Amino acid sequence: MDKVRTRIAPSPTGLDLHIGNAYTALINYVFAKKNNGQFIIRIEDTDRTRLVVGSEERILGSLAWLGIPHDEGPDCGGPHAPYRQSDRLPEYKKYAEELVSKGHAYYCFCTSERLTEMRKNQETNHEPPMYDGLCKKIATDEAKKRVDQGEQYVIRLRVPDKGTITFTDLIRGDISFENALIDDQVLLKSDGFPTYHLGVVIDDHLMGITHIIRGEEWISSTPKQILLFQFFGWDMPKFAHVSVLRNPDRSKLSKRKNPVWVSDYRAKGYLPEAMKNYMATMAWTYPGKKEIFSVDEMIQEFEIQDIQTTAPVFDQEKLRWMNGEYIRRMDDETLIKTLRAFDATIPKTGDELLKKILPLVRERMKTLGEFETLADFFFAPPGKYERELNKDMVTIAKEALAASVTWSHDEMEKAIRSHADVKGVKARDVFMELRIAVTGKSVGPPLLESLEILGKEETFARLS
């Protein structure tokens, strides 16, 4: 096998890196490293109407945060630069004209109005929405003359009328398409920018990509790209199409139902190691059905043919569980450092206090963002209460704690239960009112252990 080179080619048309692209990036990275190869990032920014300013930087930033490093790309360069399609336009023009000269493509002068009318007629007649080949009949010399005269045009792929294209997908096996059902795809637009199909083939060839691993939505595009490789006389890369991610209801993952940007999960306090681990389990099963594993472990065991073809479900609760497992496995020093990096409001000093708090909240945390919800009262009195306090119950709690022999869990519990009996109230009601008075909330870490950490003086200050 030639030196393996894989890539992802995201378009900077969204807010950030889509979780589906992150999933595909992970598989490309793991496959490349499994085979001692290289993983490349290429930015496909030729759709100028949908370009989002800053998207490219956020995409690269999210890949860096996830810990999926690339060997070549627009930010680090490489031997096949530039890695941004908008910087490669002369290449696409040159190769598109080469196809025309070889008879594998042709100039099309159809106006947008004519194409709209054509599609309406096809829809009315229940015909497939394909270009009808009108400009294919124009003699090459005549077409060239019209181009030289400045008439606006696009360049279309000339798909053979007969025959079948078959390719072997590394995940799905043999897939075939009838040429008669393949559209004469636009390759070069009137503004000089390539369409996806031309750009991706030229770039994959010039950058030496050996394996194209991408989402299954691109399967129908593969025969057009195979034709281009054949028409240019270039070596064919291998193809593998992974299933798209689904919501638990089996609908396609979309921002209408779930967060879809990597930055969404980063902002909520998910760990990059947990994100990668979970994405890996969606595509592939570790031998022995082991669920918690590193990318390095995945590289050792991964085989691309073992990727499942059924659509994997992106289960938010499963991800939360896994993230919690990673949090619980961190030592105190690492978790404190990680929490401070995530939340600037956590004091930069006071490690000893944090080390006392962590045992009370670690088991309850599923994300880093939940630390503040669980532990904010340790750093400042509550600014508001979940509900109005029962002042009689607070007084009972205060009297009981004042009578406690020592400021310890067992003595405080004994004093509160005893005082509640004397007052003829339920101890659980006293505990609840004490919790809300001290923390502002009815749910949180163990109450009396929390009071031990807060100390007697601070506790009474809050009860007053």
The reply to whether 60 falls in a domain is yes
C-alpha angle 189-236-21 in degrees, rounded to nearest 5? 65
Residue 348 is predicted with a pLDDT of 83
The reply to whether 255 falls in a domain is yes
What SS3 state is found at 164?
Answer: strand
C-alpha angle 342-344-347 in degrees, rounded to nearest 5? 115
Give the domain CATH number at 411: 1.10.10.350
Mean pLDDT in residue range 284-290:
94
What SS3 state is found at 299?
Answer: helix
**Dihedral sign from CA coordinates of 176, 179, 180, 184:** positive
The reply to whether 456 falls in a domain is yes
Is 238 noted as a catalytic residue in this protein?
A: no
Domain identity same for 274 and 341: no
In this predicted structure, the answer to whether residue 1 has a pLDDT above a threshold of 60 is: no
Domain containing 4: what range?
1-72+243-329
Mean pLDDT in residue range 370-380:
95
The reply to whether 258 falls in a domain is yes
The reply to whether 176 falls in a domain is no
pLDDT in tens, 183-200: 999 999 999 999 999 999
pTM reported for the whole predicted model:
0.92
Domain identity same for 261 and 307: yes
Domain identity same for 307 and 255: yes
DSSP class of 358:
H
Catalytic residue among 94, 102, 120, 255: 255
User: Rg of the Cα trace of the chain?
Assistant: 31
Domain count, the chain: 3
Residue 87 is predicted with a pLDDT of 95
Domain identity same for 62 and 14: yes
Cα 79 to Cα 38, 74, 164, distances in angstroms: 12, 11, 36
Residue 123 is predicted with a pLDDT of 95
Give the domain CATH number at 35: 3.40.50.620
Domain identity same for 274 and 313: yes
Residue 255 is predicted with a pLDDT of 73
The reply to whether 221 falls in a domain is no
Domain identity same for 354 and 397: no
The reply to whether 150 falls in a domain is no
Q: Rounded to an integer, what distance in angstroms lies between the CA atom of residue 305 and that of residue 291?
A: 19
For the chain, give the mean pLDDT: 95
Domain identity same for 249 and 325: yes
Q: Rounded to an integer, what distance in angstroms lies between the CA atom of residue 190 and that of residue 204?
A: 23
Q: β-pairing, 105-108 with 154-157?
A: antiparallel
By C-alpha distance, which of 268, 252, 398 is closest to 327? 268
460: confidence class by pLDDT, cuts 50, 70, 90:
very high
The reply to whether 441 falls in a domain is yes
pLDDT in tens, 39-82: 999 999 988 889 999 999 999 999 999 999 999 999 999 999 99
Domain identity same for 272 and 339: no
- Determine the residue type at 264: D
452 close to 446: Cβ distance less than 8 angstroms? no
DSSP class of 5:
E
The tokens of 360 are what?
């009370």
153: confidence class by pLDDT, cuts 50, 70, 90:
very high
Peptide bond into 194 cis (omega under 30): no
Across 267-350, the runs of DSSP E, i.e. the strands, are none
Q: Rounded to an integer, what distance in angstroms lies between the CA atom of residue 434 and that of residue 428?
A: 10
pLDDT in tens, 245-285: 998 888 888 777 778 999 999 999 999 999 999 999 998 99
Residue 250 is predicted with a pLDDT of 84
350: confidence class by pLDDT, cuts 50, 70, 90:
confident
**166: Cα separation from own chain's centroid:** 31
Mean pLDDT in residue range 354-369:
97
Across 231-356, the runs of DSSP E, i.e. the strands, are 238-242
Residue 254 is predicted with a pLDDT of 77
The tokens of 174 are what?
């043999």
Domain identity same for 8 and 35: yes
Q: Rounded to an integer, what distance in angstroms lies between the CA atom of residue 43 and that of residue 196?
A: 12
What SS3 state is found at 233?
Answer: coil
Domain identity same for 334 and 313: no
Q: Rounded to an integer, what distance in angstroms lies between the CA atom of residue 390 and that of residue 433?
A: 7
246 close to 313: Cβ distance less than 8 angstroms? yes
Percent of the chain with pLDDT over 70: 100
Domain identity same for 289 and 363: no
Domain identity same for 34 and 4: yes
Cβ neighbors of 224 (< 8 A, separation 6 or more) are: 157, 159, 182, 183, 185, 197
pLDDT in tens, 433-442: 999 999 999 9
